[in-house]
Structure 1
Amino acid sequence: MIDNFDIIKPLFYFNEVNNMFFHLQILRRGKDHPELPAANKLIQSWLVRSREQLDNLKDEVVFLCEHYKARAYINVAGKDFEKLNTLILKKLADNVHTGNVINPWHIYNSACGELTSRRKSWIIDIDTRDLDTKYEVLEELDGIWLETHPESKEYLDECCRDIVYLFAEIPTMNGCHLITKPFNLQKFKEKFPEIDVHKNNPTVLYVPKSITQ
């Protein structure tokens, strides 16, 4: 079992009075169910507006994940309701114009995933439990960051990366996600061409025992 609720909660930089949300989804993945069609299936989704709401949703999220043998993911880049409403209306109008009839719920979830954030965060997907790889990645990021932010050296010398560019380290099935501020991706890829970096993707919130065992 992977339970990242307590790691995710401190990442909220807004609350219910703000016009923002984190997009939370429960997905049943094809690779977890070889007896079913390979396509992923969306079980449920929410627009989470505060730490308190995430706490209130936990029991339901855990129950659905255990019942469907599914994973919960959450995008920790806060998104705007106003921009979401505009994007949904555009998608609906485009579908009406082209005669493409789609369940509006799918349009809503598609818009939530497509929408970008005011405060961008990237995910470095380290797909190994080898700690040396993680430390090499962090040391490289220190160097990349200092090239454009030399004033950060004092913090990085004390390994205070959370003050400089690192939002969180999220455990995954095979390693971890490093949630960071944007950086020089070209330089990073020169050193780590095999490591994926995602610019508008969710991270792992909960994975049930039935999948991790």
Structure 2
Amino acid sequence: MVDNFNIFAPWFDNLSDQGDFYFVQVIQRKKECNIGSNNNVIKDYHFFDKKSFLSKKEEIVTLCKTFNARAYFWINPRNCKQVQYEIIREVLEAIECNSKKLFKCVSKAIGQRRNTDYKSKWILDFDTKDWNLINKYLDLVRECRPYTNIILYYVPTVNGIHVITLGFDLGQFKQKIAIAKLDNIDIHKDNPSVLYHNDDRTFNN
């Protein structure tokens, strides 16, 4: 079981504007459920404060268990006004394309539009729990510009860990891992991390 509610809850204390919020989605993944070619969004949540976030934990956990789904927490805050502009753009594009899926415009806009008033947080995605190997990468990250206060949080995942960082010089980093003869890792600049997942079938494989 992966339960990261207590990791993400304190993040709400750092929101600086009443219009800022965090985006959570409960999603069935096609690789875990027989749902066709695309992932299926069960429900979207928009949380402006820690209290409302934690009050929905039981509901989110129930949805995950019922639908064999995962809850995801988008690590960069969103802002109502910025998202509203993005929604307008998405709707106009959908109209131009004669799309019949206008109801998806809101979720798409929120997913695409992080709040630019905050420094962007990145995810270093490790599909391993070998801390000797993980620390080799993190030592190299610390050697990259801007050098200080880069690594912020460690978020457990099903198969490994997400290390949450501030942005750093990717060119420098790629050079350093090449010299160290390390494999490339996935780095996501505005993606969600796992909030909750519990499926015995996953952990028995």
TM-score relative to the length of structure 2: 0.88
Alignment of 1:89 onto 2:88: yes
| Alignment: residue pair count | 195
Question: Is contact 1:19–1:82 with CA below 8 Å preserved after alignment?
Answer: yes
Q: 1:189 matched to which residue of 2?
A: 174
Distance in 2 (CA, whole Å) between partners of 1:64 and 1:44 is 9
Q: 1:212–1:71: structure 2 CA closer, same or farther, 3 Å change rule?
A: farther
- Counterpart of 2:126? 126
Contact 1:29 1:38 survives alignment (8 Å): no
Q: Which residue of 2 aligns with 1:142?
A: 142
Within 2, Cα distance between the matches of 1:39 and 1:101? 17
Q: Secondary structure at the match of 1:66?
A: helix
Could you tell me which amino acid in structure 2 is paired with residue 197 of structure 1?
Answer: I
Larger RCO of the pair (alpha carbons < 8 Å, separation 6+): 1
1:92-171 paired onto structure 2 within 5 Å: 92-104=91-103, 106-118=104-116, 119=118, 120-145=120-145, 148-149=146-147, 152=148, 164-171=149-156
Mapped to 2, the partners of 1:171 and 1:49 lie a distance apart of: 24
Matched residue type, 2:11: L
Structure 2, gaps ≥5 residues long: none
Question: Which residue does the alignment assign to 1:4?
Answer: 4
Q: CA RMSD in A?
A: 1.7
From the two aligned structures, give the one with the greater helix fraction: 1
Whether contact under 8 Å (1:29, 1:70) holds in the other structure is yes
Deviation at 1:24, TM superposition (A): 0.3
Say if 2:183 is the partner of 1:212. Answer: no
Q: Give runs of aligned pairs for residues 196-207 of structure 1, distance below 5 A.
A: 196-207=186-197
Contact 2:20–2:80 (8 Å) recurs in 1: yes
TM-score where L is the length of structure 1: 0.85
Give the Cα–Cα distance (whole angstroms) in 1 for the partners of residues 138 and 114 of structure 2: 25
1:31 and 1:38 in contact (8 A); partners too: no
Residue 72 (structure 1) aligns with: 71
Structure 1 runs not aligned, ≥5 long: 153-163
What is the percentage of aligned positions where both structures have the same residue? Answer: 27
Gap change, CA 1:103 and 1:95, over 3 Å in 2: closer
Instruction: Give the Cα separation in 2 of the matches to 1:103 and 1:66.
Output: 29
Instruction: Tell me how far 1:193 sits from its aligned partner.
Output: 4.6
Distance (Å, rounded) in 2 between the aligned partners of 1:107 and 1:80: 16
Distance 1:64 1:85 in 2: 28
**Following TM superposition, by how much is the alpha carbon of 1:133 offset from its aligned partner in structure 2, in angstroms?**
1.4
Runs of 4+ in 1 over 6 A off after TM superposition: none
